[in-house]
Chain A
């Protein structure tokens, strides 16, 4: 079975995010970018399935600017076999991403697609679900455990208040959650070796997908700073403030 994994180039999770002064979005110029952490988990899961003999090949795909090649190289350095870059400088919304990935799926015919549950830049949490709908495949979202059986998979999902285990038919789409695994990192020697692994370049047009945005960003704001604390003189005053000002009691 072949596994297809999507990876997205996003602002590095260590970077302190700054909103553009005009509020049109997040500052991306001269900002460190790297692989979406949920996608690292996806790649890791695919590699573990391959190492366990459940998969024969791991193909990674990214949709984004030329620089996303670096992100794919990281996935190759982790151990993926092959990469596909669908190159575009446009902003690609989840639906367009899902359509392009559908095109890749049709060309590659994987038995399983692993998608991060969301990307840490826009937190959409939509691509996996849209992809499964477009393909008409089963989906196992927010996975914290994946077990591949004969023509089916058991997926343990992180749901409100606990875990839910479902069985889905393959081929399927799985979206990964934080606790699924602890991803390995790409070491420098492996990054250098990954330069020799195959990487195909495509464009959205190759899959006949129109990427014109349908959403409009009205405003982007930084979270409000914490207000300075106050000092109360007595327990009675504290209780009073919690009741009447904070409305907590």
Chain B
């Protein structure tokens, strides 16, 4: 092992248990929930196998009065739930890692609609989802006594399941303990409201009682957000955020500290750099003598070592980096730094969780497939006999397919039309704020460049004759999908008058097309492209008007948690924003628009250049020419179905596995079926 990194592999005593190293796979929802324990165990076991010293079970609700209806979280309500947890713990232990569990009552974050019990809070307040017409009831003394009993009972169940570390969770505005603590939600006048000590009371009681139940078997960790960067901003590290750590200083065995709310804790690469939480959490180690754990999208061992050496953290937590590369610790241990598949900080993992589906990741297409498809993030089954494979296109899908097939032992040739390899992950990475998209190609290209059975050819456009002449056993077309310039988008499927021929597409902009000073960008895509181009062009001195037919800018960035920051970025960059504005035509001097909801005409938006960000359409001519020649091929990635980079990587991976013949012919993977009682 590289001596520079050995400190990361030093064991650490945490209360009655000892972590084998400094790597912690953090609590993060995985979309499998209590309904799909096998798939969930597959994800966590892979972490333990990949070398994480502590593997966390994410937010687990302790009682039916905590009800995150529709969101894929975990439960530990009663004895019946223990078995699934125990199996998960056993799989984690089998690789030498410790298992932790984050027990939670989600208070006013609950919805109280699925289980039928009302959400509970310190006071009668709306639940923390303003778009849902539900309220939380104020807890009376008996409710509080019951709640404390719930925590005690859940802690006993956690112990029965074999966990090594139990969490008292007070972060992300998602814990009743936080709701009692924050003067933003606590309007009580009894001993649980008012003064700081009163608002802290429930937190302290639950922590003391959890310690009591944990006894000498389990360590007790507190997860606490020491600083609110968004939300009501009442708990700050200059005030009560610090006061809490001082008040509870040596009570827990481990402090797991971060920032709130979730959107700032899981900050994306566009807005937050690796290690960005340090400035908010670094005081904690001065206040407590107990080990401190923290996060910050850590992917580089140097940054991790620096945190420990400079006395900021004792344990390095990673949620997203552990999703993108479950084997990150093992790779550092083995000195394979170049093999780390770095998280690109795009929050697709978060977005799919907020829509309630199984975890997905741009960099790691095997996530969620460990159990049900048997996909391992590092191992590819060897191909029986080596075949030649020609992949046309080196974007995310082409490179991922190349890597899978080359690892399996095939002779892989990648032909790229452009002078530069990487397709959209190279091109888009040059747009302001999107540099980390380049990691998609960087990781794969480096791997491919090491392999003797791989040939990479940039500057190599092939036509059907060229492909036929090459004579590969298998041909994969990964030629991507160019943007349309005719105005067809997600809300309007047909061209907009005046767009075709006049509007520039994102491809044109990326290729350096001439752009006038005043630019109108019409966003009917609703993800990052339009606003990233807006920020880029604004930074280059253009006057930018960003127009969208939807009621707010970039709905999908609500799911990646970036929307508020993006809007703030636009504002700071001087980009003028026009939500709820449907384009009806381009005159050459301006965009005619009408209100999205009422249809009333709005004043035209003047500009000299129009950029249309709508949908993309694959160019199918090469495939058709191959078909005409009778040459079989597969179309993968955006060329098969235009989508997000995650989709392209996944497509490349899946098609490659299908080509290896390891996938089910009927497409049906293993499922977790509900038990029939009738």
> Interface residues, chain A, CB within 8 Å of chain B?
12, 14-16, 30-33, 185-189, 191-192, 225-229, 231
Q: Does B384 contact A (CB under 8 A)?
A: no
A15 to B448, CA, bound (A): 10
Q: Which of B4, B457, B460, B466 contacts A226 (CB 8 A)?
A: B4
Asked whether B459 lies within 8 Å of A187 as measured between CB atoms, the reply is yes
Contact indicator B309/A231 (Cβ below 8 Å): yes
Assess whether B2 is in contact with A15, with CB atoms less than 8 Å apart: no
Instruction: Provide the residues of chain B in CB contact with A227, threshold 8 Å.
Output: 3-4
Asked if B450 is at the interface (CB within 8 A of a chain A CB), the reply is: yes
Minimum-distance CB pairs A-B, first 7: A188-B460, A14-B449, A188-B457, A187-B460, A32-B452, A188-B415, A228-B4
Tell me the smallest distance from the CB of A7 to a CB of chain B, in Å.
17
- In the complex, what distance in Å separates the CA atom of A228 from the CA atom of B2? 9
Report the bound CA distance from A163 to B347 in whole Å.
52
When distances are taken between beta carbons in the complex, the residues of chain A under 8 Å from B2 are 225-226
Q: B458 at interface (Cβ–Cβ under 8 A)?
A: yes
B-chain residues with CB within 8 Å of residue A33 when the two chains form the complex? 452
Whether B4 and A189, one on each chain, are in contact in the complex, defined by CB atoms closer than 8 angstroms, is: no
A189, B462: Cβ atoms closer than 8 Å: yes
Contact A231 B310 (CB under 8 A): yes
Q: How far is the CB of B307 from chain A (nearest CB, A)?
A: 13
Other than A189-B462, A228-B4, give 11 A-B pairs with Cβ distance below 8 A. Answer: A14-B446, A14-B449, A30-B452, A32-B451, A32-B452, A185-B457, A185-B458, A188-B460, A188-B466, A226-B2, A228-B6
The reply on B140 being an interface residue by CB < 8 A is no
Closest beta carbon of chain A to B131's beta carbon, Å: 50
**CB of B470 within 8 Å of the partner chain:** yes
Contact partner of B462 among A14, A16, A188, CB < 8 A?
Answer: A188
Q: Which of B457-472 contact A (CB under 8 A)?
A: 457-462, 466, 469-470
- Can you list 9 contacts pairing A with B, beta carbon distance less than 8 Å? A15-B450, A32-B450, A186-B457, A187-B459, A188-B462, A225-B3, A225-B4, A228-B4, A228-B7
User: Are A32 and B4 closer than 8 Å at their CB atoms?
Assistant: no
Report B-chain residues with C-beta under 8 Å of the C-beta of A15. Answer: 449-450
Does B449 lie within 8 Å of A185, measured CB to CB?
Answer: no
Q: Is the CB of A16 within 8 A of B459?
A: no
Residue pair B457, A191 in contact (C-beta under 8 Å): yes
B470 touches which one: A32, A192, A226 (CB < 8 A)? Answer: A192
As a 0/1 sequence over residues 425 to 459 of chain B, the CB contacts with chain A under 8 angstroms (1 = contact) are 00000000000000000000010011110100111
Distance, CA A231 to CA B454, complexed state (A): 44
Q: Shortest distance in angstroms between B459's beta carbon and chain A's nearest beta carbon?
A: 5
**Across the two chains, which residue of chain A brings its CB closest to B6?**
A228
Most buried by B among A15, A187, A192: A187
Within 8 Å by CB of B466, from A16, A186, A189, A225, lies A189
Which residues of chain B are within 8 angstroms of A188 by Cβ–Cβ distance?
413, 415, 457, 460, 462, 466, 470
Choose one: A30, A191, A228; the contact of B3 (CB below 8 Å): A228
Chain B min CB distance to A32 (Å)? 4
Report Cα–Cα, A132/B449, bound state, in Å. Answer: 35
Q: How far is the CA of A225 from the CA of B462 in the complex (A)?
A: 44
Kindly state the separation between the CA atoms of A186 and B469 in the bound complex, as whole angstroms.
17
Most chain B beta-carbon neighbours within 10 Å: one of A14, A31, A227? A14
Q: Output the nearest chain B residue to A191 by Cβ-Cβ distance.
A: B457
Is there a chain A Cβ closer than 8 Å to B78's Cβ?
no
* Cα–Cα distance between A227 and B3 once the two chains are bound (Å): 6
B250 within 8 A of A: no
* A74, closest chain B residue (CB): B455
B473 on the A face (CB < 8 A): no
Given the complex of chains A and B, what is the CA–CA distance between A31 and B452 in angstroms?
5
B300 to chain A, nearest CB (A): 15
- Bound form: Cα–Cα A107–B6 in Å: 59
Residues of B within 8 A of A12 (CB): 449
Kindly state whether residue B191 has any CB partner on chain A within 8 Å.
Answer: no
State the CA gap A189–B462 with chains docked (Å): 7
- CA distance in complex: A62, B2 (Å): 39
Tell me, rounded to whole Å, the shortest Cβ–Cβ distance linking A238 to chain B.
16
B157: min CB distance to chain A, Å: 43
Q: How far apart sit A226 and B335, CA to CA, in the bound complex (Å)?
A: 12
Docked complex Cα distance between A192 and B467 (Å) = 10
Contacts of A187 in B (CB 8 A): 457-460
> Which residues from A are CB-within-8-Å of B451?
32
Could you say which residues of chain B place their CB within 8 Å of the CB of A226?
Answer: 2, 4
User: Could you tell me the distance between the alpha carbons of A191 and B390 in the complex, rounded to whole angstroms?
Assistant: 14
A150, chain B: closest CB distance, angstroms: 36
CA distance A15 to B6 in the complex (A): 25
Which residues of B are found within 8 Å of A192, using beta-carbon distances? 466, 469-470
Q: Does B338 contact A (CB under 8 A)?
A: yes
Report the minimum CB–CB distance from A213 to chain B (whole Å). Answer: 25
Instruction: Name the residue of chain A whose CB is nearest to the CB of B339.
Output: A16
Complexed CA–CA distance, A187 and B318 (Å):
42
Chain A residues near B449: list those with CB within 8 A: 12, 14-15, 32
Instruction: Give chain A residues whose Cβ lies under 8 Å from the Cβ of B459.
Output: 185, 187
Q: Chain B residues near A30: list those with CB within 8 A.
A: 452
Chain A residues, Cβ within 8 Å of B460 = 187-189
Q: Give, as a whole number of angstroms, the nearest-CB distance from A122 to chain B.
A: 20
Residues of B within 8 A of A32 (CB): 449-452, 454
B residues in contact with A225, CB < 8 Å: 2-4
B477 to chain A, nearest CB (A): 15
> Chain B residue with minimal CB distance to A32?
B452
Bound Cα distance from A228 to B6, whole angstroms? 9
A192–B466 CA distance with the chains assembled, in angstroms: 9
Cβ B338 vs Cβ A16 within 8 A: yes
Which residues of the other chain, A, contact B413 by a CB distance below 8 angstroms?
188
Interface centre among A12, A15, A189, A225 (most CB of B within 10 A): A189
User: Hey, which chain A residues are within 8 Å of B466, CB to CB?
Assistant: 188-189, 192
Please, which residues of chain B bring their CB within 8 A of the CB of A191?
A: 457
Closest chain B residue to A192 by CB distance?
Answer: B469
Minimum distance in angstroms from B606 CB to a CB of chain A: 45
CB distance from B611 to the nearest CB of A (A): 32
Report B1-59 residues with CB < 8 Å from chain A CB: 2-4, 6-7
CB-CB under 8 A from B470, the residues of chain A are 188, 192
B457 nearest in chain A by CB position: A188
Chain B nearest Cβ from A61, distance in angstroms: 23
Q: Please indicate the chain A residues that have their CB under 8 angstroms from the CB of B461 in the complex.
A: 189
Complex Cα gap A228–B469 (Å) = 54
B638 to chain A, nearest CB (A): 21
Minimum CB distance partner of A70 in chain B: B455
CA distance A226 to B7 in the complex (A): 15
Which residues of the other chain, B, contact A189 by a CB distance below 8 angstroms?
Answer: 460-462, 466
Within 8 A of A (CB), among B386-422: 413, 415
| Shortest distance between the CB of A45 and any CB in chain B (Å) | 20
Distance A12 CA – B459 CA, assembled complex (angstroms): 19
**Which residue of chain A has the shortest Cβ distance to B459 in the bound complex?**
A187
A241-B421 Cα distance, complex, nearest whole Å: 46
Which B132-155 residues have a C-beta within 8 angstroms of A? none
B306 to chain A, nearest CB (A): 9
CA–CA, A226 and B6, complex, Å: 13
Kindly list chain A residues whose C-beta atoms are within 8 Å of the C-beta of B4. 225-229
What 0/1 readout, one digit per residue, does chain B (515-542) give for beta carbons within 8 Å of chain A? 0000000000000000000000000000
Give Cα A37 to B613, complex, Å: 42
Task: Give Cα distance in the complex from A226 to B462, angstroms.
Answer: 45
B residues less than 8 Å from A16 (CB atoms): 338, 450
Cβ–Cβ < 8 Å partners of A31 in chain B = 452
Chain A residues positioned under 8 Å from B338 (CB to CB): 16
Q: How far is the CB of A182 from chain B (nearest CB, A)?
A: 12
Task: Report B-chain residues with C-beta under 8 Å of the C-beta of A228.
Answer: 3-4, 6-7, 305
Given contacts A189-B462, A225-B4, contact A14 B457 (CB under 8 A): no
Q: Nearest chain-A residue to B311 (Cβ)?
A: A231
User: From residue A67, how far is it (CB to closest CB) to chain B in Å?
Assistant: 10
